[in-house]
């Protein structure tokens, strides 16, 4: 395989190769001919300037065949060659970087790793300063190099501790030992895609759907540094190649579907949502039906997994972007959140209450009226929660001026729902902080409409009396049943008559 790869690199003539082994009398001959032959250099900044030529050959022979080491043109600096040869040197350096090393052992092939690192640095400097268009050969070579270096299958242990295992707690991340090398490749990919020298018409042929799918698969990496680079690169590809935008949205949607409805495990959901937050902010108005379907079928169900706490901030931003762009979506968003409301997970309840508040801030009165009854029934239940953090978060919502104005406009429907919950808290809740907050909210509602609040209190007291009466009747019925059973032992299927 090495021979097949290295035969594609530029080679010197046999006379030139012999001159390298001699006393140095042949450099003049190497410079003759068409004037474009690249001379070999005996130094590499990362390998150290003090290494002699023979040392470079000896250390590289395990990876690079001697026929290429004798004329190792890819290690020449771009400033040392004529402008006409820089593109050929670029391709040579890119081909050299297609060699993949094992970074689990830092002492293995250390010299060759240094050569490759220096080649990547040289390529980044060239891309930064490039003034002419990249040729199709250069683009194809780069795409191949990125594919070889970056696209890989993660071992099983990378997936065993992924984000679906807990209820939102952060696990200690795993760091890839090859990252010092990988980040250079990622930096080069980012610079290459963002360069004005890359023609979009040429680039889209090589950065195609297959490349994008493999790039998206890397978001499941355990290394947060890699996911952060991927996030920036995906956003750059989305902005550069408009023709690929529908495909990217569809591919990411499929990842979300797979996560929510099948595996419940993925490491890069937060990063993908962060990219989509920027994408959603750029949607034109009125919103397309495709984008609304993405909200209803993807973003709302993403509240279901236990690990929602790991990406809730990004998810909330995406949802609120939709509501801010089209406020009439607020009611459907709130009803969707109520459908996935956590019953036994108090931490998720606190998160949901926070998101509900953000959505309500962007909602108007018409949309609020469509969902206010089921919403405040749920808020009333949260106010009565025995978990003090849930009760506190529900009561803190009453500090929001916009929510108070919405409640004031619809107090006839909301006060009868909330007042009983407040009264029950004052009588039974164990937490002092919750009791103080409940008292403040009760006072606020009383000042909002004292007559209505008094009527709600009276209705609640009457309801409590009726409840106590029914409870007494049930207790009496059980006492009669127990008394009858004590005097008439039951055998077989004998029926017992209880008189009321």
- Tens digit of each residue's pLDDT (9 = 90 or more) over 363-389: 999 999 999 999 999 999 999 999 999
Position 490 scores a pLDDT of 59
Reported confidence tier of residue 322, pLDDT bands at 50, 70, 90: very high
Which two structure tokens, joined as six digits, stand for 396?
């803190």
pLDDT reported for residue 499: 61
Residue 171 is inside which H or E element, if any? none
The answer to whether the CB of 375 falls within 8 A of the CB of 338 is yes
Q: What percentage of the chain carries pLDDT values higher than 70?
A: 79
d(CA 494, CA 500): 19
Task: Please give the pLDDT value at position 464.
Answer: 85
Distance, CA of 407 to CA of 376 (rounded, Å): 10
pLDDT in tens, 132-167: 899 999 999 999 999 999 998 887 654 444 444 344
Burial 126-152 (b: 16+ CB within 10 A, else e): bbeebeeebeeebbbbbbebbeebbee
* Lowest pLDDT segment from 70-74, 169-173, 214-218, 318-322: 70-74
Interval 445-477: pLDDT, tens: 999 999 999 999 999 888 888 988 999 999 999
The H or E element containing residue 404 is: helix 401-409
Between CA 263 and CA 59 the distance in angstroms is: 46
Contact present, 111 and 60 (Cβ < 8 Å): yes
Contact by Cβ (8 Å): 374, 335: yes
Concatenate the DSSP letters of all residues of 436-464 into one string: HHHHHHHHHHHHH-HHHHHHHHHHHHHHH
Confidence of residue 78 (pLDDT cuts 50, 70, 90): confident
């Amino acid at each position: 395989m090495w021979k097949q790869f290295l035969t594609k690199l530029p080679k010197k003539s046999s006379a030139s190769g012999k001159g390298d082994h001699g006393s140095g009398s042949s450099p003049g001959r190497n410079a003759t001919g068409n004037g474009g032959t690249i001379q070999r250099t005996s130094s590499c900044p990362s390998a150290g300037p003090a290494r002699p030529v023979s040392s470079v050959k000896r250390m590289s022979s395990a990876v690079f065949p001697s026929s290429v080491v004798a004329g190792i043109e890819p290690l020449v600096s771009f400033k040392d060659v004529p402008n006409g040869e820089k593109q050929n040197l670029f391709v040579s350096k890119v081909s050299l970087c297609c060699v993949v090393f094992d970074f689990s052992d830092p002492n293995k092939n250390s010299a060759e790793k240094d050569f490759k690192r220096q080649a990547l640095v040289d390529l980044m400097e060239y891309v930064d300063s490039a003034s002419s268009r990249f040729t199709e050969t250069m683009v194809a070579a780069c795409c191949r190099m990125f594919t070889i270096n970056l696209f890989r299958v993660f071992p099983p242990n990378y997936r065993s501790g992924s984000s679906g295992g807990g209820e939102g707690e952060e696990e200690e991340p795993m760091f890839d030992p090859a990252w010092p090398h990988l980040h250079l490749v990622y930096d080069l990919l980012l610079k290459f895609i963002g360069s004005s020298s890359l023609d979009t018409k040429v680039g889209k042929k090589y950065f195609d759907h297959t490349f994008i799918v493999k790039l998206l698969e890397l978001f499941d990496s355990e290394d947060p540094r890699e996911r952060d680079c991927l996030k920036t690169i995906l956003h750059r590809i989305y902005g550069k190649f408009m023709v690929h935008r529908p495909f990217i949205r569809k591919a990411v949607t499929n990842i979300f579907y797979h996560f929510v409805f099948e595996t419940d495990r993925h490491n890069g959901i937060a990063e993908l949502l962060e990219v989509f937050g920027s994408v959603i902010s750029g949607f034109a108005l009125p919103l397309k039906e495709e984008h609304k379907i993405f909200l209803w079928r993807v973003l709302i169900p993403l509240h279901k997994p236990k690990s929602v706490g790991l990406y809730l901030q990004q998810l909330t931003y995406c949802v609120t972007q939709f509501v801010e762009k089209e406020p009439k979506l607020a009611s459907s968003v709130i009803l969707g959140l109520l459908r996935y409301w956590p019953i036994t997970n108090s931490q998720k309840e606190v998160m949901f209450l926070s998101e509900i508040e953000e959505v309500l801030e962007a909602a108007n009165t018409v949309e609020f009226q469509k969902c206010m009854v089921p919403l405040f029934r749920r808020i009333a239940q949260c106010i009565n929660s025995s978990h003090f953090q849930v009760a506190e978060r529900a009561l803190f919502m009453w500090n929001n001026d916009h929510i108070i104005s919405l409640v004031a406009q619809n107090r006839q429907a909301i006060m009868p729902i909330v007042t009983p919950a407040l009264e029950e808290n004052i009588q039974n809740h164990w937490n002092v902080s919750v009791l103080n907050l409940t008292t403040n909210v009760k006072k606020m509602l009383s000042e909002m409409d004292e007559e209505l609040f008094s009527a709600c209190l009276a209705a609640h007291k009457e309801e409590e009396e009726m409840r106590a009466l029914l409870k007494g009747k049930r207790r009496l019925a059980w006492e009669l049943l127990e008394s009858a059973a004590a005097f008439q032992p039951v055998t077989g299927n004998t029926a017992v008559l209880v008189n009321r």
